[in-house]
Chain A
Amino acid sequence: MTKFAIGQTVHRLEDPTLLQGKGCYTDDLRPQGAAHAFVLRSPHAHVLIRGIDTTAARKAPGVIAVLTGADAKADDLGTMPCIVPVKNHDGTPRGETPRPVLALDRARHVGDPVALVVAETYHAARDAAELIEVDYEPLPAVADVYGAAQPGAPLVWPEIKQNIVADLHLGSKEAADAAFARAAHISKIELVQNRLVANPMEPRAAFAEYDPETDRSTLHTSSQSVALLRAHIGDIVLKIGDKLRVRSGNVGGAFGMKAMMHPEQPMIVWASRRLKRAVRWTGDRSEGFLTDVQGRDHKVFAELALDKDGKFLAVRATVYAGMGAYLSQFAPMIPQSVHSMMPSVYAFEAAHLHLIETVTNTVPVDAYRGAGRPEGIYVTERLIDIAARELKIAPDELRRRNFIKPSQFPYTTAAGLVYDSGDFEGLQAKALKEADWAGFPARKAASEARGKLRGIGLTMYVERCGGAAPPDSVALKVNKDRVLVLPGTVDNGQGHMTVLKQMVSEYLGVDMEKIDVSQGDSDANPFGLTGGSRFAVVTGTAAGIAAKEVVDKGMEQAAKMLEAAAADIEYGDGDYKVKGTDRKATLFDVASAAGGIEALHIKNTGALTFPNGCHIVEVEIDPQTGVTRLDRYTIVDDFGRALNPMLLLGQVHGGTVQGIGQALLEHAVYDNESAQLLTGSFMDYAMPRADDVPSFHTTFHHTPCTTNPLGVKGAGEAGSVGAPPAIINAIVDVLHAKKGIKHIDMPATREKVWRALNG
């Protein structure tokens, strides 16, 4: 075993560079002679564009070009694709929302791109944009996901009736109805899944270079997948195929949002090709709020059916899911996960979802950390607490009665997923102990003695990670003294380089110091996507298969060198050895003699993993101010196996704080008349800050995953799934005791909590 093998805490190799400000994010590239681009955006949520007069802007100092939707149309640019087909329950296909890279005759949300100005300097481009005269004719707009689907609502797309772009049923309605018909008790909830802004700290950026010799463009952009961007921009929008190379350097956070193509990426490449010149664009935070794909935005009506013993029978929900003005890349798929996650860790007979996806005059919605999993788990875990209260059963006891048991794996859930492993009852028991659940009444009394109100909240969660599509690639190249690893994924801060080196070090028995990792180049890494907590499972497995292939490929050469039959040679600790002798040759010697060994693995296992866990949190509320302080935050997770415990916990902390943000602080609020975003900066949109959140007590309760050779389960999104229900359950614990309140919607801001207590 090598020094830094799988399972050990290895400090990140990425850090010395980043800590000295020597990272290279997209806007840090300083190309000689690049022009600067600025995007003029619609200030209205819904308008007809009668005309665009760019005469004055074109004559402004330093301006190189002003491009509009008409230019894009003349150049035959394709529209931005949504790659998810959906069949409505009546058999018809979902609605289409063809989105040009620059608006043509209509803009459908505030921030929709209207014109692109390219100039010698950023200020020249920005100043010239103010000289563009756009003849706008405002139209009625709609922002509310539920209101949009009501008769008489303004239409975002005249072609899409009642703004319903997709209407489908998931799971058996009949089975759920039958279970509800014989239920002894039914608990109900109506809730809002608040719309969120991903807000990675690095804003989106794109910089395109053009090489006239080869007629090729290179797009440098902050992303989660150079492969998908290459395909979508190169093949679909610009129709230049492999004449596009996409590269990502350091990525300053992404959280799902940067997996999506945004209009500026093809726009900048297009402008660069027209001008035969490098063009750079970096969005500012205000643009990010108006254009980065957002998350969540559901209105939910849900019910839980139980028998007389508190046994869960079925869960069903009607969910209105906001898609924004245009269907983003994966958008219609994301809320479908509400169905697959609704059974959570419990044995249900049936789970049914009626999903109504609506378009509104708002920024498109797509995957944001969790991507459907938090939305689904929240529904069920809130319903369970409500049922527990109504039935006067302790919340931990009601959950215990319904857990899927270890002996039942593999277990097919009511939503059709096959869970491979887990120990939910054991995990909950561990969490209750770690959180000192039994000691809560004493702490509550102590808080009350100080005039504060204390509540406790518990949630279980499970999520789904890994899976078949799209394929990920890992290439390994061994030469005389180094191993080069080329993953298809793109690191966004997780520490992929360190963990990949740990894994390949173990697979090949080679020291980490001799391993290099190169990522983020569509020419070198043709397949792969960072997203859905897939790296450890999918890339880790692929790297293992590629490593085995490297060893196998070197065997013939090793046999020649060691003058032995291949069957008599075994590989271990970086050496080919003749069994029972001391004759050996190192991998590097063999690779050198063979002129290098290469292997490329581009399929993946297709198997899902189901990380799960329990969050327990206590809140202390000041009834005078509504301030809700989180206290004693306990997390127990089952990730199968830790590859690098320190980095793994980093994912838990970060995900949990994004969940805390959703529960207490964050909300993308639109005015429903004008559909203007009211929370368009960090001054209005409350990001969690250091003094909003606690430190965490974390531990693991791993049960090895049986569907991949590493035994790992994804971990990137777990915290964002667990935190919202745990926190709201804790707050409602207080609100119900004091006011008989059954539910409070997220974000449970100080004002909302104060009003609930003092209303």
Chain B
Amino acid sequence: MSVKVSMNVNGEAVSAEVPERTLLVSFLRETLNMTGTHVGCDTAQCGACTIHLNGRAIKSCNILAMQAEGGNVTTIEGLAKADGTLHPMQEAFRQNHGLQCGFCTPGMVMSAVDLVKNTPNPTEEQIRELMDGNICRCTGYHNIVKAIAAGATSMAANP
């Protein structure tokens, strides 16, 4: 059975007919061809598919596309400015070598932005605890934690 799904993705209205069982992440990747959001597991553990729905970070593999009906979605593609200037959190990851293979990175950055929004001045311990829903196999987290702390400072300076 197909269903029509409409939502706003990175500021643009989108609409498509998809099978009811389509996950939001598949809607983004397969229907909209927006491949920046990644799939790293099938049990909602790794967080590579993290996006923002109505201002809140969620795992887009763990929700049906039709559950996001009428919602506002922000993906990694919608984070930098239109002129290509990186979001302060993206820039902090770059400056601190907070990524290696880059596969978990979109989810990491989306989670990190949400973390700082809710916890503006996070301690190292808070960052580690709050990022426990995003798995990285390359970096050992050391530089991710540094990047998020730096990103928090720079987000505060550039609201």
Contact of A22 among B36, B43, B143 (CB under 8 A): B36
Residue of B48, B101, B137 with highest tally of chain A CB at under 10 A:
B101
**Contact pattern, B 25-38, Cβ under 8 Å of A = 1, otherwise 0:** 00001000111111
* Complex Cα gap A721–B64 (Å): 42
Q: Does B60 contact A (CB under 8 A)?
A: no
B135 touches A657 (CB 8 A): no
Within 8 Å CB of A472, what residues of B? Answer: none
Q: Does A285 lie at the interface of the complex (its beta carbon under 8 Å from any beta carbon of B)? A: yes
- B42 partner residues in chain A, CB cutoff 8 A: 284-286, 681
- Pick the residue among B38, B77, B101, B106 that contacts A492 (CB under 8 A): B101
**Least Cβ–Cβ distance between B145 and chain A, in angstroms:** 7
Whether the pair B37, A657 counts as a contact (CB closer than 8 A) is no
Contact with B along A454-479 (1 / 0, CB 8 A): 00000000000000000000000000
CB of A30 within 8 Å of the partner chain: yes
Q: Which of these, A18, A25, A27, A253, contacts B137 with CB under 8 Å?
A: A253
Residues in B whose Cβ lies below 8 Å from that of A690:
127-129, 131-132, 134, 136, 141, 144-145
Task: Please name all residues of chain A whose beta carbon is closer than 8 Å to the beta carbon of B29 when the two chains form the complex.
Answer: 27
Are A201 and B94 within 8 A (Cβ)? no
Q: Is A295 at the interface (CB under 8 A from chain B)?
A: no
Interface residues of A in 203-226 (CB under 8 A from B): 203
Contacts of B14 in A (CB 8 A): none
Task: Output the least CB separation between A669 and chain B (Å).
Answer: 17
Which of A610-669 touch B at CB < 8 Å?
646-647, 649-650, 653-658
- A200 and B43: CB pair below 8 A? no
**B 2-33 contacts with A by CB, 8 A:** 19, 21, 29, 33
The reply to whether B141 and A657 contact each other, CB–CB distance below 8 Å, is yes
Specify which chain B residues have a CB less than 8 angstroms from the CB of A406 in the assembled complex. Answer: none
From known contacts A650-B97, A654-B140, A690-B128, infer whether A14 and B43 are also in contact, taking CB-CB under 8 Å.
Answer: no
Partner of B40, one of A20, A203, A492, A655: A203
B60 to chain A, nearest CB (A): 13
Q: Which residue of A lies closest to B109 (CB)?
A: A19
**A251 CB within 8 Å of chain B:** yes
Q: Is the CB of A19 within 8 A of B93?
A: yes
Say yes or no: is A252 at the interface (Cβ < 8 Å to chain B).
yes
> Which one of A15, A251, A656, A682 has the highest number of Cβ atoms from chain B below 10 Å of its Cβ?
A15
A242 CB, nearest partner CB in chain B, Å: 30
- Could you tell me if A285 and B145 are in contact, using CB atoms closer than 8 angstroms? no
What is the minimal beta-carbon distance from B121 to any residue of chain A, in angstroms?
18
- Docked complex Cα distance between A198 and B75 (Å): 28
CA distance in complex: A23, B76 (Å): 11
A-B pair count, CB < 8 Å, reads: 178
Contact between A253 and B138, CB atoms less than 8 A apart: yes
The docked-state distance in angstroms from the alpha carbon of A199 to that of B42 is 13
How far apart sit A654 and B135, CA to CA, in the bound complex (Å)? 12
Query: Interface residue tally of chain A, by bracket?
Result: 35 or more
**B97 and A647: CB pair below 8 A?**
yes
Nearest residue in A to B90 (C-beta to C-beta)? A19
Complex interface: chain B residues within 8 A of A95 (CB): none
- The answer to whether A250 touches B140, judged by C-beta atoms less than 8 angstroms apart, is no
Tell me whether chain B's interface is mostly helix, strand or loop, or mixed. loop
A494 at the A/B interface (Cβ < 8 Å)? Answer: yes
Q: Hey, which chain B residues are within 8 Å of A23, CB to CB?
A: 36, 102-103
Nearest-neighbor residue (CB-CB) of A203 within chain B: B40
Q: B108-144 vs A: 1/0 string, CB under 8 Å? A: 0100000000000000100111011011111111111
A20 touches B77 (CB 8 A): yes
Stretch of A80-88, A233-241, A297-305, A691-699 contacting B (4+ beta carbons < 8 Å): A691-699
**Other-chain contact of A202, B21, B94, B101 (Cβ < 8 Å):** B101
Q: Is B79's beta carbon under 8 Å from chain A?
A: yes
Give Cα A20–Cα B97 distance, bound, in whole angstroms: 15
Q: Determine if B54 is an interface residue (Cβ-Cβ < 8 Å).
A: no
> Are B95 and A11 within 8 A (Cβ)?
yes
Are A201 and B140 interface neighbours, CB within 8 A?
A: no
Interface residue A33 (Cβ < 8 Å from any Cβ of B): no
Q: Is the CB of A201 within 8 A of B40?
A: yes
A16 at the interface (CB under 8 A from B): yes
Residues of A within 8 A of B146 (CB): 695
- Indicate whether B156 reaches chain A with its CB closer than 8 angstroms: no
CA distance A24 to B36 in the complex (A): 9
Q: How far is the CA of A647 from the CA of B94 in the complex (A)?
A: 12
Alpha-carbon gap, A506 to B90, bound state (A): 29
A106 contacts chain B at the CB level, 8 A cutoff: no
Contact A657 B140 (CB under 8 A): yes
Name the CB-closest residue of A to B107. Answer: A201
Does any Cβ of B come within 8 Å of A57's Cβ?
no
Quick one: which of B70-95 are within 8 Å of A by CB? 75-77, 79-80, 86, 90, 93-95
Q: How far does the alpha carbon of A22 sit from the alpha carbon of B93 in the complex, in Å?
A: 15
Tell me whether B99 is interfacial, beta carbon within 8 Å.
yes
Pick the residue among B21, B43, B93 that contacts A285 (CB under 8 A): B43
By a CB distance below 8 angstroms, the chain A residues around B124 are 695
Residue of B nearest to A647 (CB): B97
User: A16 to B94, Cβ gap below 8 A?
Assistant: yes
The answer on a CB contact under 8 Å between B102 and A20 is no
Selected contact of A681 from candidates B38, B43, B94, B127, CB within 8 Å: B43
Q: Does A98 belong to the interface (CB within 8 Å)?
A: no
CB <8 Å contact, A21 and B135 = no
B45 contacts partner chain A, Cβ-Cβ < 8 Å:
yes
Residue in A653, A682, A691 whose beta carbon sits within 8 Å of that of B143 in the complex: A653
| Contact across chains for A201 and B136 when beta carbons are under 8 A apart | yes
Q: Is there a chain A Cβ closer than 8 Å to B66's Cβ?
A: no
Residue pair A21, B37 in contact (C-beta under 8 Å): yes
Which one of B19, B36, B75, B138 contacts A123 once the chains associate, using CB atoms below 8 Å?
B19
Shortest Cβ gap from A170 to chain B (Å): 32
Q: Which residues of B contact A (CB under 8 A)?
A: 19, 21, 29, 33-43, 45-46, 48, 75-77, 79-80, 86, 90, 93-95, 97, 99-106, 109, 124, 127-129, 131-132, 134-146
Provide 25 A-B residue pairs closer than 8 Å at the C-beta atoms, listed in order of the A residue.
Answer: A11-B97, A15-B94, A19-B94, A19-B109, A20-B86, A21-B77, A23-B102, A123-B19, A200-B137, A201-B40, A201-B48, A203-B39, A203-B40, A253-B101, A255-B137, A653-B139, A653-B141, A654-B139, A682-B45, A683-B43, A690-B127, A690-B132, A690-B145, A693-B140, A695-B142
List 15 extra interface pairs beyond A19-B93, A252-B40, CB under 8 A. Answer: A11-B95, A19-B99, A20-B77, A23-B36, A24-B35, A25-B35, A27-B35, A284-B39, A492-B101, A493-B101, A649-B97, A658-B137, A681-B41, A681-B42, A689-B132
The 10 closest A-B pairs by CB, nearest first: A21-B36, A493-B101, A252-B103, A18-B102, A657-B140, A653-B140, A682-B45, A493-B100, A21-B76, A28-B35
Contact surface of A with B, Cβ cutoff 8 Å: 11-12, 14-16, 18-25, 27-28, 30, 123, 199-203, 250-253, 255, 284-286, 492-495, 646-647, 649-650, 653-658, 681-683, 687-691, 693, 695-696, 719
